[in-house]
Every structure is written in C-alpha cells, then in structure tokens.
Amino acid sequence: MGSKIMYESGKLDPERFFKSKSILITGACGTIGKYLAKHLITYEPRRLRLLDFDDTRLTELKDELQDLDDGKKLTYLIGDVRDKSRLIRAFEGIDYVFHCAALKHVAIGEYNPGEVIQTNVLGTENVIEAALQNNVEKVIYTSSDKAVNPTSTMGASKLLGEKLMVAANYIKGSRKTVFSAVRFGNVMGSRGSVIPRFRKRVQKELSLIVTDPDMTRFMMPIQDAVRLTIEAMLLSYGGEIFVLKMPSVILKDLVDLFSEHAWMKYGIIPKIETIGHFPGEKNYEELMTEEELSRTLELPSMYIILPHIMELQREFHPKIQAQMGKVQTKAYSSQFTPTLSKKELESILRKFDVFTNT
C-alpha cells in the first residue's frame, strides 16, 4: 500500500469503479440491500447477484426492480449465509460483496441468542471464507452502533462480525481480498426502525408505544446509509470501519411529530403508551469508543477507524497515522452529541418522505 493510501471521498467515481464489475449483495431483500441494488444497477455492472433466504420477498424484489434491468444483469439467488457451500457457489466470478444479511431486532435476539450467533457471527465467517476461496476483490460488512459497548446479543454479534472482518485482512495470506465495515445508526424507515411501527399504528388509530421518551438515538436517512456503504467500498484498503457523521434525536420529539401528523391527517391524537426498556436496550447509543478515537481519521462527512491490529496499521502511510487521535476527547455518543431540534427533525422526515405512507 505504502504512500498510495489516501482517503478523499470528494474525488470518488462510483460509475467508473463499478462499471462492468460483478457484485453480490447478501440480505438483498432488507432495506439496505434493496436500496443498494437500486443504486448499483445504475452504474452498469456486468452482473448484480441478489441473495436472500426469503423466496417470497425475493420475488417481490424482482418485480420491483425489473424495469431497471434492461440488460438482464440481475440474478436472484435463494440462499442463507449460514450455508457456506451455497455462498461459495454464489461468489464465483464476483468482484465486490456487500454483506448486509443479519438478524437485527434487539428484543427478539435476547430470546434467541443462538440463532443470532448462527447468522450474524458464523454467517459472517462463511462470507469471509467464500470470498477468500473465490478471490473476491472487496467485501464490505454492514454493522451497527449497537456493536459499540454492546448490551444486547445482537450488538455483541455485530461487534464480533466487525472483529472477524478486520482480522480477515491479517489471516488471508497472499490472497488479494480486502475486508472492511460500515457502522450505521438507526436508518430512518428501515424495517428495524421505530418509524414503520409508528406509521402502522397511526393508520390503525392505535396508541404509539414508547419504551422511554428520553431515549436518544443516532438517525440517518436510507440515502445516506447507502452512500456511506458505497463510499466505503471505494475507499477501503483493509480493516477500516467507516462511520457516517450523523445527528442524534430524542425519541419524544419523534413521537410528538407523528402525533401531530396524525392530528393533521386524520383528526386524531394518538395516545402515548410508555412501557419501559426492552431486554438489551440502551438509553443511548455510541458510534465510537474512546479507544477507537485514538486511531480515527476525520473526513468532512465521515470518520474512518483504522484497524486495531498493529500489523495492519503499519501498512498505512506514516502521514496517515500522524492524523489519528485528533477527532474528539470523549466517546461519540448520542448522549453527548447535539440533538436535532424538533423543527430540524421534521424537515428531514419530510425531505425523505418518511410521512408519505402515514
């Protein structure tokens, strides 16, 4: 790598990077996977394979994307990341992999920890093995802020997934494959977020169920999540964790906005029902630890956490290392990050059509 290493997100050219390349997305029917597919197909890849274990949702995705696939470049694969032999076959001839498949619901995961480990940890190890066996060029793993100082099974599994991805760069031997990760906050409107649940309850004129109105969370529109993931693929050299800069929100403000929208559209004011924390749930989330800040670079729109394995860090140019440790003085937490005002939050929700289906 030597002196060639540079992180300049403003000079990225995804059209040139992905053109005529072969790409695969695991968990393609999830929110991130689906929006990634819609973006990537516009870059004219040679092929785009979409892998998911749910054949019904895969069929629905095929119907949704068929008008974008004039060149018949999309292939829909039924498969589970728990099945390594299936992944090895699916990864044949692939240049880039976006690993989005995961079990993501914190409360359900607390009652099913073995299943979370099977998919999120062992499944990630299978992705690494399949990528190495097929000499894939790059793999990007989609992680979560819940991986930072985790209190839940899901969060712990995501932390292990990150560790596996970083270490894969160290154990790969002479193979060329590069492994890196992106770390998300809550993606607005994704199936795992509170927003779709609020939508459905408003439509049915039911109460809005809240665990703790004072809870804070990092929020990012799906468009920003996809942009970060694509930029990470272009920028990665191996072992980095890419973190988008994002604001935090107070749950009470989100609830109030949905309540006000329900009044304006339906003439009703939903009852607010506070039920307390779910198992494994935190009152605030973190995107970086204090230890990680000591090896973090800052770009205008993101942070890049360099690998904790020193042998990998030494691969980076000394000038890059000299920039580390100049980001913040305490952990990047939604507890300390300035929160959006209610007006600012409403503007974002309307800009990205969060209220459209309510």
Residue numbers annotated as active site: 146
126 closest CA partner among 96, 153, 89, 94: 89
Q: What is the CA radius of gyration of the chain?
A: 20
Q: Name the amino acid, one letter, at 247.
A: P
**Which residue's structure tokens are 């999120």?**
120
Asked if residue 98 lies in contact with residue 24, where contact means CB atoms within 8 angstroms, the answer is yes
The DSSP 8-state label assigned to residue 146 in this structure reads G
For the chain, strand residue ranges (E) read: 22-26, 47-52, 74-78, 96-99, 138-144, 178-184, 186-188, 208-210, 216-221, 241-244, 248-250, 272-274, 286-288, 296-298, 302-305, 332-333
Q: What are phi and psi of 295, to 5 degrees?
A: -130, 40
DSSP lists the bridge partners of residue 209 as 273
Cβ partners under 8 Å of residue 240, min gap 6: 180, 181, 232, 304, 305, 306, 307
User: Using CB atoms within 10 A of its CB, is residue 2 exposed (0-12), middle (13-18) or buried (19+)?
Assistant: exposed
Asked if residue 306 lies in contact with residue 315, where contact means CB atoms within 8 angstroms, the answer is no
Q: Collapse the DSSP code of 26 into the 3-class scheme (helix H, G, I; strand E, B; otherwise coil) and give the result.
A: strand
Q: Name the amino acid, one letter, at 333.
A: S
Asked if residue 116 lies in contact with residue 134, where contact means CB atoms within 8 angstroms, the answer is no
Q: Name the amino acid, one letter, at 112.
A: N
How many helices (H) and strands (E) the chain has is answered by 15, 16
CA 37 vs. chain centroid, Å, equals: 14
